[in-house]
């Protein structure tokens, strides 16, 4: 199978095609606004990206390092070597999308709107760094705060493991297997 290295920089996730939360393996599509050429053939309007990932949701932006491959059944796609989800804290929509669609559990749209109203562009930092402050918001009780804190703890452990693995040349596909050990 012919491969070519590629970096997709800050591309928007258009659709999650498949995702298995147990194995953290899936396929999503990103818009090819720059008309990136994948191997031989015409530029595609969108690009399939396959591999292990977590925290990707429709509307978020990602940076992907990977290999372009020609899958015998599904055609040209990018296989993930490394992926970074870019958190948009510059807009209300970006903050609400992150809080409700990322790996953080327990925050629904109504509460995300309340969080943004209280903390503005600092909302993501407040949730990730000082989740106890969520109790300042009407309608968010101790059970929700605890659920958020537990998911943030998992998120941070994975983020640290991913960075450690990348720094030490461990393939991205092996990171989730390491996490389960």
The count of C-alpha atoms lying within 13 angstroms of the C-alpha of 133, restricted to the half-sphere facing its C-beta, is 14
Q: What is the pLDDT of residues 8-42, one digit of tens each?
A: 888 889 999 999 888 889 999 998 765 566 656 66
> pLDDT at residue 178 above 70?
no
Q: How far apart are CA 61 and CA 87, in angstroms?
A: 7
Q: What is the pLDDT of residues 86-110, one digit of tens each?
A: 877 788 988 898 888 877 888 999 9
pLDDT interval class at 179 (50, 70, 90): low
Identify any residues that bridge with 80 across adjacent strands, giving them in sequence order. 66
Tallying the residues shown for the chain, one arrives at 181
- Tokens 């020609």 map to which residue? 70
Of 92, 20, 98, the residue nearest 55 (C-alpha):
98
Beta strand 75-86 pairing with 46-52:
parallel
Q: What is the pTM of this model?
A: 0.70
């Amino acid at each position: 199978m012919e491969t070519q290295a590629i970096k997709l920089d800050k591309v928007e996730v258009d659709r999650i095609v498949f995702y298995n939360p147990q194995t953290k393996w899936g396929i999503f599509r990103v818009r090819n606004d720059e008309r990136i050429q994948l191997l031989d053939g015409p530029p595609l309007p969108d690009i399939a990206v396959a591999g292990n990932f977590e925290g990707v949701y429709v509307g978020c932006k990602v940076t992907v390092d990977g290999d372009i491959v020609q899958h015998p059944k599904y055609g040209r796609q990018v296989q993930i070597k490394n992926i970074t989800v870019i958190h948009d804290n510059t807009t209300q929509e970006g903050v609400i999308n992150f809080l409700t669609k990322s790996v953080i559990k327990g925050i629904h749209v109504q509460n995300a709107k309340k969080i943004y109203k209280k903390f503005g562009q600092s909302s993501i930092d407040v949730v990730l760094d000082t989740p106890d402050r969520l109790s300042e918001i009407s309608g968010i009780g101790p059970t929700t705060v605890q659920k958020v804190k537990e998911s943030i703890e998992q998120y941070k452990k994975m983020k640290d493991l991913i960075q450690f693995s990348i720094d030490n040349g461990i393939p991205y596909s092996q990171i989730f297997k390491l996490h389960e050990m």
